[in-house]
């Protein structure tokens, strides 16, 4: 080992051609490794990074293709499902009266109570409607008096009307003669015509702009 160290100290780095062959070999190997490292950082590293990017892009494209292929395979099922949803939505719309039918529906609610022998202490439709984007809600405040079975039958008759009517905020009290007084808010709904829908959408946009401007 000491001999190798002594030989290394005696090397003339200005004249590598005079080195003993083991040191020439070691120097050649170090030079070769250095060139490879230099080539990696100067040339190959950028190419490798580009290759990684292209491989990632290829993977993303494959995933996109697979997703689109799944959609294409299930397209017919999606179209059928959409048709069923549209059909169900249309059926629900038919359960909402038009503007001209609301008054007739209110009469039907009143007649349902009278048909069960109930006494109306209050039957007061609100003068105005509550609007949403696609439908209008008309609350009716009512109070009916009768026995338990007739009140239950009245509620059942309401649920069986061909138009949607919901009983909300139910409150039942026992009177002195053992009859029951039921207070409720019956809500009827109607769908809006196109002019009303356009008006509601315009009002929503204006409200959104006003809210954004107030911030």
3-state secondary structure of 188: strand
pLDDT of residue 176: 84
| Per-position DSSP letters for 89-142, written without gaps between them | HHHHHHTS--GGGHHHHHHHHHHHHHHTT-EEEEEEE-SSPEE-SSEEEEEEEE
pLDDT of residue 147: 92
Per-residue pLDDT for the chain (215 aa), expressed as one digit of tens each? 455 555 555 555 555 555 565 656 666 677 666 666 666 666 666 666 766 777 788 788 888 877 877 777 777 777 777 777 766 666 665 666 666 677 788 888 889 999 999 999 999 988 888 877 777 888 999 999 999 999 999 999 988 887 778 898 999 999 888 889 999 999 887 777 777 777 777 877 777 777 766 55
- Please name which of 102, 93, 184 lies closest in space to residue 138, comparing C-alpha atoms: 102
pTM (2 d.p.) = 0.50
CATH superfamily of 99-198: Ribosomal protein S6/Translation elongation factor EF1B (3.30.70.60)
Cα dihedral angle (100, 104, 109, 114), rounded to 10 degrees? 160
How far is 106 from 141, CA to CA, in rounded Å?
A: 11
- Please name which of 184, 168, 165, 166 lies closest in space to residue 118, comparing C-alpha atoms: 184
Residue spans per domain, the chain = 99-198
């Amino acid at each position: 080992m000491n001999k190798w160290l002594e030989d290394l100290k005696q090397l003339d780095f200005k004249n590598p051609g005079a080195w003993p062959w083991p040191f020439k070999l070691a120097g050649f190997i170090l030079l070769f490794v250095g060139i490879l490292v230099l080539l990696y950082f100067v040339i190959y590293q950028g190419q490798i990074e580009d290759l990684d990017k292209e491989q990632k892009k290829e993977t993303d494209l494959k995933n996109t293709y697979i997703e689109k292929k799944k959609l294409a395979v299930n397209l017919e099922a999606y179209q059928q499902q959409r048709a069923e949803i549209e059909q169900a939505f249309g059926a629900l719309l038919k359960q909402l009266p038009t503007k001209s039918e609301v008054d007739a529906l209110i009469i039907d609610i009143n007649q349902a109570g009278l048909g069960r022998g109930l006494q109306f202490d209050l039957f007061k439709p609100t003068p105005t409607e509550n609007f949403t984007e696609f439908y209008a809600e008309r609350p009716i405040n009512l109070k009916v008096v009768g026995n338990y079975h007739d009140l239950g039958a009245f509620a059942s008759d309401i649920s069986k009307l061909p138009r949607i009517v919901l009983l909300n905020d139910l409150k039942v009290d026992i009177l002195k003669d053992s009859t029951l007084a039921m207070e409720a808010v019956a809500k009827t709904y109607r769908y809006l015509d196109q002019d009303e829908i356009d008006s509601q959408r315009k009002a929503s946009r204006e409200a959104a702009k006003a809210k954004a401007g107030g911030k």
